Structure 1
Amino acid sequence: MGTTNKIYLDHASTSYPKAPGVAPRMCEYLEQVGCNVSRGEYETAYDAAEVVFNARERLARLFNFPEPHNVIFTSNVTTALNLVIKGGFHAGDHLLVSAMEHNAVMRPLTQMLEAGVTFDRIPCDESGELQLECIESLIHPNTRAVVMLHASNVSGTLYPVEQVGRICHKHSLRFVVDSAQTAGVFPIDMEGMYIDALCFTGHKGLLGPQGIGGLLIREEFAREITPLISGGTGSFSHLETVPELLPDRFEAGTLNLPGIYGLNAALEYLERIGIDSIRTREQELAARFTAGMERLPGVRVVGSHDAHQKAGIVSLDFGGRDNAELSFLLDSEYGIMTRCGLHCAPNAHKTLGTYPQGTVRFSVGYSNTEAEIDFAVEALHKLLKD
């Protein structure tokens, strides 16, 4: 049958389309600015530096963080998590993570086992809900931090970061949060949630381009972290030692300035329309899709069925059918783009009972329409009748 009309339902991987203004602002930098920051004593370089600082300020406001200079730019959330995990913890340290973590946390943490860092997983039930009551029993005298996601990229399940933050504060633990699936959609209050380091990416809910992300980090925690990469920063050039000043300490080399220009435009857009509007729309669309799936026999909606209590992600397991085949047919026959597999989170699937087959993940975005959701539901009804 085939179709030339495409429906994008893979926003948990990356948002598309990007916010209005992102592409023009990136082009503006490349075609009209072009220079570096902290490396040139001329007006254009100063103007570019102002854009970079505006982006830091916008991120600090968005996440209720008091110090824009402690907003560190990296290439993505994975790099930010590696910076914190590999630079901040050492032999003898013990960490806690959830049982639903993405490999952006688990792979660097598993590497750190060789360096003498250990970890335990906070249990989650078969729907992916965190068993909050288990945390304190897992804390040892050498426990240094809790590192966990804000929402699952597999099931969309939201995690009680505010309650976890209170536990961390009570026990003097660092609290590191992976906001890949929530930044720009759900409110995050670093002060109220006792978050010490918030790792983010620009290309998902923030509606910016790929290749730009970072972290917001408290000063006292930053002083405990050894930079993974060092080099020129354009500051303190008389020294061959790494600067102590933030953000320079963690921003060696040339920044992704086209990416920051694009991210700044996306953040302006989010400020105009409000993240509450985005969240409401995405949850309504996910609820509409979930309701359509509940009428289909043999289809398991993985995790909570209440779309208003999670991110805009609906993962399906088709039981006796081949999930990969159905994902392929959705694209080839109906132009519906999804993601199939383990989504870089194998232990999450073990927790949810979908390992090794994985799931077909449908993730909605602010740009999707009710008609697209209805078409996806109808397509699945037709495919499952075959």
Structure 2
Amino acid sequence: MLYFDNAATTWPKPEEVYRAHDQALRQGGNAGRGVHQASLAASRTLFRTRDSLARLFKIKERDRIIFTQNVTESLNLALQGILNPGDHVLVSSLEHNAVIRPLEYLKSRGVSYSVVPCSPEGELDLQVCEQYIKPKTKLMCFTHASNVLGTILPVRELGRFARKHELLFMVDAAQSAGVIPIDVEEMNIDLLAFTGHKGLLGPPGTGGLFVREGIVLRPLIYGGTGTHSASLSQPELWPEGLESGTRNVPGLAGLNAGVEYILERGIASLRRHELELMNLLLSGLESIPGIRILGPREPEKRVGLVSCVFLCHSADKIASLLDRKYGIITRAGLHCAPLAHKTAGTDTQGALRISLGIYHTEEDIKTLLAALEELLRGE
């Protein structure tokens, strides 16, 4: 199997991730639920993982990182935790349903939102954002990189824009965490939502939300926290008051190993490898008749994924043939991001997405391109 669906979940993981997950699962223990050695060891796992993430994202206070099961939970926790009736939100036309569906739900609670249009290639004009600000605008929530077009949005400039207009700024880093450098201070990010199982190379069931000091957040889930157990009210401690229930200690141990892998090798080095493969992939796809590439043509303007449509075939058909005939795994459809497909003009047909991983080689790219060329020739 040749796996090109890393934008959905990265695979394979570094060997260190598998070992850390297995060791923590065998070790046992429930973090924050006792003073015995197994519980304390589990608590240390959470501490180390928060510390690694804080170093990766340049977060000063590691306790401002809340663990979740994925970026969808992180986004829901943030949106439902800070927005009140009458508040207005700005989003881009590239957002995933993990942002749009919570906002649609919150509309019934008196929250409104506006979609700032991007170009068909996914580029965003900050001057256009100005036109959508309202007196009740409270939050800007933007993806860092589109899971459909691959386009990287100008997060640093968006952060300055949010500060200028005294707005909260949240970034959905589902496709960028572990792939593109993120500095929450330099980028003026107030809330950073991320998942563990994609670019951070961790297991599924892991994710988190960074919340800047001073921002009040209502819990999404209420229950046992291992603290203030005699109180019937939810404790307001950070981060425990927002992490009710048992944490996924084995998953977070694996996530820590994935983040440490990235820190040791350096995002810059991993990104150089990705850009080299992206250049080969984009130029190869452009040379095959009957393919239209979505998003920017310059590799440096996108993360390691390419979506495309076909002149004479459906994306579903090509994805199925790649899988059954060649053992090549891709992803066809709307990718849970209908607004992004509407932006690209593919909302009625979907697209085929090819997404790279850290272990791909030039030979893998050439194998994929040869298979696509053979399929489109009808052989």
Confirm or deny that 1:173 pairs with 2:167.
yes
**Long gaps (5+) in structure 2:** none
Deviations 1:167-206 (A, max 9, x none): 1111111111100001001000100111111001000000
Query: TM-score, with normalisation over the residues of structure 2?
Result: 0.98
Deviations 1:130-175 (A, max 9, x none): 1221112211110000011000000110000111111111111111
The residue number in structure 1 matching 2:145 is 151
Question: CA shift at 1:47, angstroms?
Answer: 2.2
Secondary structure at 1:21 match in 2: helix
Confirm or deny that 1:102 pairs with 2:96.
yes
CA distance in 1, matches of 2:213, 2:71: 19
The residue number in structure 1 matching 2:185 is 191
**Long gaps (5+) in structure 1:** 1-5
The residue number in structure 1 matching 2:260 is 268
> What is the correspondence of 1:223-372 to structure 2 with a 5 Å cutoff?
223=216, 225-372=217-364
The residue number in structure 2 matching 1:135 is 129
Q: Quick check: 2:7–2:355 contact (8 Å CA) kept in 1?
A: yes
CA distance in 2, matches of 1:324, 1:41: 53
Aligned partner of 1:25 among 20, 37, 61:
20
The residue number in structure 2 matching 1:10 is 5
The residue number in structure 2 matching 1:3 is none
CA distance in 1, matches of 2:260, 2:15: 10
Question: CA shift at 1:298, angstroms?
Answer: 2.1
The residue number in structure 1 matching 2:176 is 182
Residue identity matched to 2:313: R
Question: CA shift at 1:303, angstroms?
Answer: 0.8
Question: CA shift at 1:48, angstroms?
Answer: 2.0
Question: CA shift at 1:40, angstroms?
Answer: 1.2
Deviations 1:229-257 (A, max 9, x none): 11111111122111111101210111011
Question: CA shift at 1:81, angstroms?
Answer: 0.2
Give aligned pairs, total.
Answer: 378
Q: Quick check: 1:74–1:213 contact (8 Å CA) kept in 2?
A: yes
CA distance in 2, matches of 1:288, 1:210: 30
- More moved, 273-282 vs 369-378: 273-282
CA distance in 2, matches of 1:255, 1:57: 16
Confirm or deny that 1:91 pairs with 2:77.
no
Question: CA shift at 1:45, angstroms?
Answer: 1.9
Query: TM-score, with normalisation over the residues of structure 1?
Result: 0.96
CA distance in 1, matches of 2:321, 2:61: 49
CA distance in 2, matches of 1:154, 1:346: 9
Q: Quick check: 1:88–1:226 contact (8 Å CA) kept in 2?
A: yes
